[in-house]
Structure 1
Amino acid sequence: MTVHAARIARTKVRRRAPPVAVGLTREAIVAAALEELDDSGLDVFSLRGLARRLGVKPNTITWHVGSRDVLFAEVVALLLRELAPPRDGTLAWQDWLRALFARYRALIRRHPNAAALVGAGIVSNARADCALVEAILATLAEAGFPDALIGDAYCAVQAAMIGFTTQEFARMPDDLPGWREATRAHLAAVDAARYPTLARHLPRLANRAFILRWQNGVEAPLDSGFAMFTDCVIAGLEAKLAAART
């Protein structure tokens, strides 16, 4: 090997060497990413910002974890790891689903900036929580859903678990004071002659119903709406199950 060839070989070895970050692990990066997401929000989140939090260079993160999408999938997996309620036979299937929905809502209340990531990001499927999927499917099977319907019932449960909460904890605008004032003014100016039903109910709906609010669930949780939504979903599943048995 010539001197020139040896230098090229050494350069290639150096380029392939992993970035140095003593003690940094994949798990630590994912945990820090969740903290960064909590602090900055999904729109602002960047690998560069996460690297600053960890005191490393961005390529150190990509070497340990991979792309931004892979990192988000890992964050979702971390969030959902302990979500499923215990399946110890103490809860009827309806109560188990109620507990599942409530646990997910409590999780997103603690991490509202992750609502859109879990609800709308199909990249999270790259690290699908098989334990959660298994728990939901097993609960539905034990409830008596036939094989032909269990996939549809599973989709209904997943959509119910994520959908209401994702909307309840939707991202707030950047110009929050101005946006809130504009929203209040818009609702105060509702034409009662044109929208009589809305005008009649607006005093009890303002800031307590979807579309008609200026705060999200962090400051103004929609507890009673969530309870009714949960009851409706479970009643629908019960009706489908009863029809399948006839």
Structure 2
Amino acid sequence: MAKRALTRETVLAAAAALVRQHGPDALTMRKLAAELGTAVTSIYWHVGNREQLLDALVERTVRDMAAIRPAGRTPAERVVSVARSMRRELRERPHLIAMVHERGLTDRMFLPAQQALVREVRAAGLRGARAADAVRAVQFQVVGFVLVERNRERSPVQSPGEGELWDPAETGAAVPGDPALRRALARPADPERLFLVSVKALAQALLAPE
């Protein structure tokens, strides 16, 4: 198989993949060179030293977040599509997002998504402070949801877990008149579906005529 040409972009792509998989501490110039099958001096030639490489990765992440584009027929559908894209991007690159935050560029990173949301809330007829509140509410919902997801994923195994807590035989946690609700609460949460439910409800409420 032909060896791919070494360019600044191929170096950054390989570095980003290493950071996504193992975190910033795992990114060394030697490891990156081995990943690309080249000499360390070639890495320096294309991206400079490690700090310059990290700065370039941050800029690349900011640029990637700017590629979010709305989709859908209505402002509410397009707001939901932006929110889903933001969540996906944040979940796919947590280490890179953390690097952006550490360098004080979080607001700049989110600006393109905010601008996309501004266009949609204005298309729905919102103006002024109400439009600003709608944009920020969606952004906070996305970021907060992702933080809760990551916290649940990293937390120790819970004992008793939700299934046991909502087992009436174990805890008496019956829901009078609604056993289906109890059974649903006993099942593991589906984050993808729950996010969609919450962000759709939020978008519809925010964009509804006063």
Q: What SS does structure 2 have at the residue aligned with 1:160?
A: helix
Question: Using the alignment, how far apart are the partners of 1:168 and 1:35 within structure 2?
Answer: 22
1:186 aligns with 2:160: yes
Question: Using the alignment, how far apart are the partners of 1:58 and 1:196 within structure 2?
Answer: 66
Alignment of structure 1 residues 71-86 onto 2, 5 Å: 71-85=56-70
Alignment of structure 1 residues 81-96 onto 2, 5 Å: 81-85=66-70, 91-96=73-78
- The answer (yes or no) to whether the contact 2:164–2:186 under 8 Å persists in 1 is no
Letter of the structure 2 residue corresponding to residue 168 of structure 1: E
Alignment-derived partner of residue 188 in structure 2? 208
Identity %, equivalent residues: 18
Structure number, greater radius of gyration: 1
Alignment-derived partner of residue 118 in structure 1? 97
Question: Using the alignment, how far apart are the partners of 1:105 and 1:118 within structure 2?
Answer: 12
- The answer (yes or no) to whether the contact 1:208–1:222 under 8 Å persists in 2 is no
Question: Using the alignment, how far apart are the partners of 1:148 and 1:126 within structure 2?
Answer: 19
Question: Using the alignment, how far apart are the partners of 1:170 and 1:202 within structure 2?
Answer: 24
The one of 28, 32, 35 aligned to 1:53: 35
Q: Cα 1:36–1:184, aligned 2, differ >3 Å: closer, same or farther? A: same
Alignment of structure 1 residues 1-246 onto 2, 5 Å: 23-25=6-8, 27-40=9-22, 42=23, 44-48=25-29, 49-54=31-36, 55=38, 56=40, 60=44, 61-63=47-49, 66=52, 68=54, 70-85=55-70, 91-107=73-89, 111=92, 114-115=93-94, 117-118=96-97, 121-122=100-101, 123=103, 124-125=105-106, 128=109, 130-169=111-150, 172-173=153-154, 179=156, 183=157, 185-187=159-161, 190=165, 196-197=172-173, 204-205=184-185, 208-209=188-189, 221-238=190-207, 242=210
Give, in angstroms, the shift of residue 184 of structure 1.
5.4
- The answer (yes or no) to whether the contact 2:20–2:96 under 8 Å persists in 1 is no
Structure 1 length-normalised TM: 0.57
Give, in angstroms, the shift of residue 96 of structure 1.
0.5
Q: Cα 1:145–1:203, aligned 2, differ >3 Å: closer, same or farther? A: same
Number of paired residues?
A: 193
Letter of the structure 2 residue corresponding to residue 83 of structure 1: I
Letter of the structure 2 residue corresponding to residue 135 of structure 1: A
Give, in angstroms, the shift of residue 97 of structure 1.
0.8
- The answer (yes or no) to whether the contact 1:83–1:132 under 8 Å persists in 2 is yes
Give, in angstroms, the shift of residue 136 of structure 1.
1.8
Structure 2 length-normalised TM: 0.65
CA RMSD of aligned residues (A): 4.2
- The answer (yes or no) to whether the contact 2:65–2:110 under 8 Å persists in 1 is yes
Question: Using the alignment, how far apart are the partners of 1:108 and 1:162 within structure 2?
Answer: 8
